[in-house]
């Protein structure tokens, strides 16, 4: 489990940041992180943490925007996770499906996956990949979103809903892919003024994405045709705050319990109950960020009692729900700060 811990002993820091992961492998900013992934995994295991949870609690270095590139292959297990920031992915290659909330898409080169804070997501890597899943990655903080809204209140450059933008075989593929690439290059080379360049490039990227979505004839990508897994995911989502058992779920869909569990283990790489717990914990984190107390978050996300929620949260993230809430407040979570200050 990679949680809110000090991977690198830096005074006062408890979030796992990109620079800390680079320090583990003594790499510089010009080295793609995935190039040193074996050494990162080895170092994490030596500390007693599960590398498959790497993406779950990684945090931004910058208070505004971070950019990098990344790659995954079949041996990289990426669990269901969410972030406290906005994540934009530009798919450069790979044959895979992507779970975005409750929608499952087949990803292709040129696709942009837009993931707002608190949205559960994960790649569904095939057992055999023709090529690794490679992508440019951009992270934007809620503070950056508030700054944009304050400067351009009439524009919705960082919308609240997740989406997938398909640019393949359109003029937008080269332009938007080029803007993602420019941001990554600025971050890696770090020439004078690189941070300002990354911010300016990000604003242009968001503007061009908005134009591609609203001012062109690019059709919205269709989610994959629903199968039993999709129906189960929707059922879990709609009944998250209620009691969910494997037996009741199997009866509802007229299949055996082993069919449901084997489907989750084969496609999601976790058991049915493990997936339900992961999804509930993500929902609980969102509620904590929005100002709920730990007890309220537990009650609204389907945990039978607070002690069960507390144990699951601490086992998954390494800290208590109350500690997580305090960390989000100190880190400047906008919604939580407003609640604490009595502003709705």
H or E stretch including 213? helix 194-214
User: Dihedral through CA 314, CA 103, CA 172, CA 148, nearest 10?
Assistant: -50
We report the CATH number of the domain holding residue 245 as: 1.10.10.60
Token code pair at residue 106: 């087949």
Instruction: List pLDDT tens digits, range 150-200.
Output: 999 999 999 999 999 999 989 999 999 999 999 999 999 999 999 999 999
Instruction: List pLDDT tens digits, range 285-296.
Output: 999 988 899 999
Does residue 13 have a pLDDT over 50? no
**Number of domain units in the chain:** 3
pLDDT-derived band at 14 (thresholds 50, 70, 90) equals very low
Does residue 318 have a pLDDT over 70? yes
Token code pair at residue 141: 């903080």
pLDDT-derived band at 2 (thresholds 50, 70, 90) equals very low
> Are 129 and 200 part of one and the same domain?
yes
Instruction: List pLDDT tens digits, range 321-336.
Output: 998 888 887 766 655 5
Average pLDDT over residues 59-77: 83
pLDDT-derived band at 319 (thresholds 50, 70, 90) equals confident
> Are 200 and 131 part of one and the same domain?
yes
Instruction: List pLDDT tens digits, range 90-138.
Output: 999 987 899 999 999 999 999 999 999 999 999 987 666 678 889 999 9
Task: Please provide the average confidence, as pLDDT, over all residues in the chain.
Answer: 85
Token code pair at residue 26: 């003594």
Report d(CA 147, CA 205) in Å as an integer. 16
For residue 81, what are the β-bridge partners? 121
Domain span including residue 246:
228-336
> Are 111 and 135 part of one and the same domain?
yes
Report d(CA 298, CA 263) in Å as an integer. 28
> Are 75 and 206 part of one and the same domain?
yes
> Are 285 and 153 part of one and the same domain?
no
What single-letter DSSP state applies at residue 52?
Answer: G
Instruction: List pLDDT tens digits, range 236-249.
Output: 999 999 999 999 99
């Amino acid at each position: 489990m990679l949680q809110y811990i000090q991977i690198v002993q830096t005074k006062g820091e408890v979030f796992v940041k990109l620079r800390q992961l680079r320090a583990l492998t003594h790499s510089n900013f010009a080295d793609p992180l995935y190039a040193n992934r074996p050494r990162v995994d080895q170092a994490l295991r030596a500390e007693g943490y599960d590398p498959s949870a790497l993406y779950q609690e990684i945090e931004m270095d910058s208070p505004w925007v971070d950019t990098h590139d990344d790659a995954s292959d079949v041996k990289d297990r990426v669990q269901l996770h969410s972030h406290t920031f906005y994540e934009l992915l530009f798919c450069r290659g790979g044959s895979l499906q992507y779970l975005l909330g409750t929608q499952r898409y087949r990803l292709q080169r040129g696709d942009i996956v837009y993931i707002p804070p608190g949205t559960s997501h994960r790649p569904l890597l095939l057992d055999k990949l023709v090529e690794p899943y490679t992508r440019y990655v951009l992270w934007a903080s809620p503070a950056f979103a508030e700054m944009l809204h304050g400067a351009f209140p009439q524009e919705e450059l960082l919308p609240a809903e997740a989406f997938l933008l398909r640019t393949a075989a359109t003029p937008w593929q080269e332009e938007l892919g080029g803007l993602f690439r420019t941001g990554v290059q600025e971050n890696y080379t770090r020439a004078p003024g690189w941070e300002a360049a990354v911010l300016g490039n990000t604003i242009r990227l968001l503007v061009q994405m908005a134009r591609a979505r609203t001012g062109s004839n690019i059709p919205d990508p269709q989610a994959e045709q629903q199968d039993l897994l999709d129906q189960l995911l929707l059922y879990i989502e709609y009944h998250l705050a209620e009691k969910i058992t494997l037996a009741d779920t199997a009866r509802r869909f007229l299949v055996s319990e082993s069919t449901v569990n084997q489907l989750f283990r084969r496609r999601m790489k976790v058991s049915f109950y493990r997936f339900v717990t992961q999804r509930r914990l993500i929902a609980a984190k969102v509620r904590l960020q929005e100002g709920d107390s730990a007890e309220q978050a537990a009650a609204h996300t389907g945990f039978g009692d607070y002690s069960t929620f507390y144990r699951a949260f601490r086992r998954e993230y390494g800290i208590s729900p109350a500690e997580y809430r305090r960390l989000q407040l100190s880190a400047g979570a906008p919604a939580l700060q407003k609640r604490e200050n009595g502003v709705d």
